[in-house]
Chain A
């Protein structure tokens, strides 16, 4: 079945560091891929999504490329800020039979120190 594997646990960086969060997926079809971000005390919100293979999504300085060859959708940011501290979820949107389904990764907690 469909699955999403995401770097788990916590990533700790300093301001202006480069961010890379690993995400790989498994599916037999052409999914939509999402990154959601959850700030403390809030619900998740969409960070970016890509619907077409080999396309790149960019938002708020974050970017992720839908790589069908390596089945990956890694999240990157060139220079993180303290305000980027949050939990990041990689999500796969796909169809199972007639119904759509979202498969959530377990989340990666990013802590950015000033």
Chain B
């Protein structure tokens, strides 16, 4: 079954705490992504991973880092969360990184930082 799975789906953290969002895919896709979605701003790319240990910054990487040690798994880490990082985070994967590739998204992780 072609699926992108995100954990946790909902998370409340205090400002300054660390946050770990995890993403897995079962399609052996080479490329994985982390986006955040905010009202009025659409989807913004945080990081893209081209393969294991091959990660690049997206449009809004500040305050985030990522880890990809296995092809099927991609983590987003917030060291010392801030209230402006309250958002819905989406992980996605695609077979390759070319411009014509289809992205497959997870169901999202809603993070609230208080």
Contacts and interface: CB of A to CB of B under 8 A. Distances in A.
Contacts, number: 52
Contacts of B42: 89, 104-107
Interface of A is mostly: strand
Contacts of B40: 106
Contact of A45 (B41, B45, B105, B108): B105
Contact of A94 (B41, B97, B99): B99
Which range contains the number of A residues in contact with the other chain?
A: 20 to 34
Which range contains the number of B residues in contact with the other chain?
A: 20 to 34
Nearest to A50: B100
A41 B102 contact: no
B108 to A, nearest CB: 6
B103 A101 contact: no
Given A43-B107, A106-B41, 10 more contacts: A42-B105, A42-B107, A45-B105, A46-B102, A93-B101, A100-B101, A104-B42, A104-B43, A105-B42, A106-B42
Interface of B: 4, 40-43, 45, 56, 90, 92, 97-108
